[in-house]
Amino acid sequence: MGLRRLTNLHLGYGELTRIAKDAFKDLVSLEILNLSGNNLTTLPPSIFRYNGKLTSLKLQRNPWLCNCDLLPLAGFLSETSACTEGLCGTCRHPSAYHGMPISNLTRIENPPCAALMIGKKPRPSLNVSVGDSIRIPCPTLTPNYRTTTKKIEWKMPNGTSIEHGKYLVRITILGNGSLNFTKVTLKDKGYYTCSVFQAGNKIDTSTVFLNVTSQTNLLTSSYFATETMVSKP
């Protein structure tokens, strides 16, 4: 009975990562709900269907993932007066929608239907020696049951591009999107940018600088770093 009479619920800044679909089912008198400042990326569809008295909703400061799974929430936010501008939350991912209000997702014709793997970006630079092999990682997508095909494209230092399924001499795109070099040369030095597309939309990008050093340079640097000149008295 106590929960059914609850009008205010403050769950802000509690490091929440998920909320069960029926979490607010018994809170039929709920008027104020604060979910701001957590680590929420999505909410279950129709999670507020039992909360008809809701007048204040705060969702800001969460890393919302604006894919098609968030469309029910976007639709709710576009119709309710409980969430005012600035408090309804903005998209953190994918990068193409970063900073966009969640409610605006309803205006996009084909929002991506895949869950972006949110983790650390590849290191901004990678060091490798001539003749070595190396893989440069790319942001990837974990498919869900509504996922369409994705497209991965790498832009090379000379401005040319290579798509998934195609290859160059010594260079191929692996199944996980990584750019694989079988034998690095000095000409491979430069910036490499990976772009991931889903349903025609760019989902994420990542740029890495590949620093290639010859073995001769390494040996010379090592010699002068360890040898000390001693002059005779």
**Residuewise pLDDT in 10s, the chain (233 residues):** 568 999 999 999 999 999 999 999 999 999 999 999 999 999 998 899 999 999 999 999 999 988 888 989 999 999 999 998 889 999 998 878 899 999 999 888 767 665 444 444 556 889 999 999 999 887 654 443 333 456 788 999 999 999 877 778 889 888 778 899 999 999 999 999 988 776 666 777 888 999 999 865 544 444 444 333 333 34
CATH code, domain with 194 = 2.60.40.10
Same domain? 88 vs 49: yes
Q: Is residue 228 part of a domain?
A: no
Same domain? 195 vs 141: yes
Same domain? 97 vs 41: yes
Interacting residues of 175 by C-beta distance below 8 A, sequence separation 6+: none
d(CA 15, CA 48): 21
| pLDDT recorded at residue 140 | 54
Q: How many domains does the chain contain in total?
A: 2
Same domain? 91 vs 120: no
CATH code, domain with 35 = 3.80.10.10
Same domain? 88 vs 129: no
d(CA 112, CA 48): 24
Same domain? 61 vs 6: yes
Q: How many residues does the chain have?
A: 233
Phi, psi of 211 (to 5 degrees): -100, 115
Same domain? 9 vs 101: yes
Residue from 56, 17, 16, 53 nearest 33 by CA = 56
CB 97 within 8 A of CB 70: no
CB 211 within 8 A of CB 126: yes
d(CA 188, CA 211): 8
- For residue 64, what are the β-bridge partners? 91
Domain housing 129: 116-216
d(CA 110, CA 200): 8
Residue 125: C-alpha distances to residues 121, 189, 206 (Å): 11, 11, 11
Q: Is residue 14 part of a domain?
A: yes
Sheet strand arrangement including 8-10: 8-10, 32-34, 56-58
Same domain? 121 vs 212: yes
